[in-house]
A = this chain, B = another copy of it.
Amino acid sequence: MPRPTGPPIGLALTRTAKAVSRAFDDALAAAGGSLPAWLIMISLKTRSLGNQRELAEAIGIRGATLTHHLNTMEADGLVIRRRDPANRRIHQVELTDRGETLFRQLAAAASTHDQRLRTGFSDEEIATLEQLLRRLQHNVSGEAHDRASRSDA
């Protein structure tokens, strides 16, 4: 139990995340997009998500908020929603050609931002950081009261 812990680790995490997110959002805005739209698109491209609830979960927002963003993106012609014929409760979300184009533009901006973020970091340090972040997330994810897991791949 208690060690003479320093400043809360969550505090450093929150401050860093806010600063990084803000800089990233600025970079995406300059490329004609936004952070939520980017998160939605990259999740659509890189993950196999069955429905909007999982998509919202992957992004870290609530379903209602996702609906809001999808409305905007659909109005902008970036995505289309269509009912899954096999389960008409589900809306399948797909990128349009226009969405694909914007995705590539944002991917370029994101890559530049990511290079900037990685300045001075070795590959090993990045891997360490990713592993530490995964373990933090695991520690607050519900049942994680027992012991830290070794879920690095």
Contact = CB atoms under 8 A, between A and B. Distances in A.
A20 B117 CA distance: 21
Contacts of A137: 15-16, 19-20
Given A107-B153, A129-B132, A150-B115, A10 B21 contact: yes
A129 B9 CA distance: 9
A153 B108 contact: yes
Interface stretch (A69-77, A85-93, A138-146): A138-146
Given A119-B147, A120-B148, A114 B14 contact: no
Looking at A15, A116, A140, the one whose CB has the most chain B CB atoms below 10 A away is A140
Given A21-B14, A24-B10, A110-B8, A139 B153 contact: no
Interface string A52-92: 00000001100000000000000000000000000000000
Nearest to A129: B132
